[in-house]
Amino acid sequence: MTTSAELETPTVTVSPGTEATTTLTVRNDGDIVEAYTLEVVGDCAAWSTVEPARVSLYPGTSEVVTVRLAPPRSHEVRAGEMPLGVRVLPAEHPESVAVPEATVVVGPFHELRAELDPRRRSGWLGARFRAAVQNRGNTAVDVALTGKQAGEELRLAFTQGQRRLEPGESAEVGLRVRARKLIWFGKPVAWPFEVVAAEAAEGDTDGEQPGSSETLPGEFAQLPVLPRWLLIVLAALLALLLAWFALVRPAVRSTAKQAANEAAQEKTPPGGKQDATAGGTGDPTGGQGQEKGDGKGKPNGSGGAGSGGSSSGADGGTGGTQQSSATIDVQTRSGGEKKGTYKVPEGKVFGITDIVVANFQGDEGVLTISFGERKITTIALETFRNQDYHWVTPIQIQQNDTVTASVTCNKPGTPATGTQASECHQVLNVSGVLSDLAP
């Protein structure tokens, strides 16, 4: 054999991220000048070099070269022992190649990376987070996740509090944050907390060897169940509702009552008494006997059919005085206006004491009631289903004057059948005393 090579030491220790060196002695035992190519082989080749990488030796001479070991600080370079070999290849006699060997001991290092996603979440009582952990060291470790908070407002629970990670391995652990009590009113409250990811090195059974750790800040924003703006809206709606029942609905009745009283006062003879009241649903129909009326519907603008008035009466005493009632039926298409009338017969005077209005479909629109040229009241249809008015002193309607029900239909309602009607439908009944006109 014409080539011999020997490493200085059988074992070399190096830490990732640092550099270690050893020497190699190459000797030419041949009888000619020989050139040698030097190259590190094996697991250490990626991060080891020989300086110089080529030497020439005369017969019987030797040279010492440097072997540099510089493993990177990476989880890919595992901690532990690995073989080191340097191939010494002669150019003239390649069959005399020599590969001296040694052992390289790579030291362990610990590096842990952790992330909390998201860093901030909100909710009424709790929220879920995700903690991602990666072992960037070169030795297996046990990773423990713990949560802590300055106060006692939160409870933190992990789906798996401890994991064993090989070098380069990653893991995700769920975290549930839950507040101890609800916030019913007020502003949102921010509760900061911390997640600590700590590791213990492999083989550390007594806990004396410190591992790396990372602290992750997080925050849970607890929302009130009833925010302040909702309370303001509810209070405003309640105030509007109370104002409606206290002011608007009584105003409709008061307007009708006032108009009826004024009409009655104009027809009341001196010294007479009048008392007008508006009440609940009544039955103003007359007594026995029949008398036909001659009122009929008169269209005004677009609308549906409007029927005329019919009357019935009973003899209430001597002469030409009798109890009587008349019904006006008005049907109007949506968006249209229609009038229905009842005409007092020739030679008669109609003393009205009761009015009943029926909006049995719940239509939307406007109803105006007039006695002759005198407007008695205007009512919004959506404010009632049945409405009635009563007077102690009759309102006198002279011969050939009319009782008029004028309806403007905005939207037909839904009767008891459950199907929306195609037309608005209102019924007006007036009753009182029909008497002969004095000669």
**Does 352 lie in the same domain as 299?**
yes
**Does 314 lie in the same domain as 190?**
no
Average pLDDT across the chain, whole number: 82
**Does 358 lie in the same domain as 335?**
yes
Rounded mean pLDDT, 60-76? 94
More confidently predicted of 33 and 228: 33
Span 264-317, pLDDT tens digits: 565 555 444 444 344 444 343 333 333 333 333 333 333 444 455 555 555 444
Rounded mean pLDDT, 166-176? 91
**Does 425 lie in the same domain as 284?**
yes
Whether 230 maps to a domain, the answer reads no
Q: What is the pLDDT of residue 420?
A: 87
Whether 295 maps to a domain, the answer reads yes
Whether 232 maps to a domain, the answer reads no
β-bridge partners, 121: 220
Span 85-143, pLDDT tens digits: 999 999 988 998 999 999 999 999 998 899 999 999 988 889 999 999 999 999 999 99
Rounded mean pLDDT, 165-190? 88
State how far the Cα of 6 lies from the Cα of 29, in Å rounded to an integer. 14
**Does 203 lie in the same domain as 96?**
no
State how far the Cα of 13 lies from the Cα of 30, in Å rounded to an integer. 34
Indicate which CATH number applies to the domain containing 119: 2.60.40.2310
Indicate which CATH number applies to the domain containing 94: 2.60.40.10
Whether 235 maps to a domain, the answer reads no
**Does 131 lie in the same domain as 280?**
no
Rounded mean pLDDT, 424-430? 94
Whether 123 maps to a domain, the answer reads yes
The region of weakest confidence among 150-164, 336-350, 377-391 is 150-164
Structural domain total, the chain: 3
Q: What is the pLDDT of residue 82?
A: 93
Q: What is the pLDDT of residue 251?
A: 58
**Does 50 lie in the same domain as 141?**
no
**Does 207 lie in the same domain as 101?**
no
Domain residue limits at 119: 112-222
Most confident of 304-308, 335-339, 434-438: 335-339
Q: What is the pLDDT of residue 213?
A: 83
**Does 331 lie in the same domain as 387?**
yes
Whether 308 maps to a domain, the answer reads yes
Of 222, 255, 282, which residue sits at a domain end?
222
**pLDDT(53) > 90:** yes
Q: What is the pTM of this model?
A: 0.46
Q: What is the pLDDT of residue 180?
A: 87
State how far the Cα of 409 lies from the Cα of 228, in Å rounded to an integer. 41
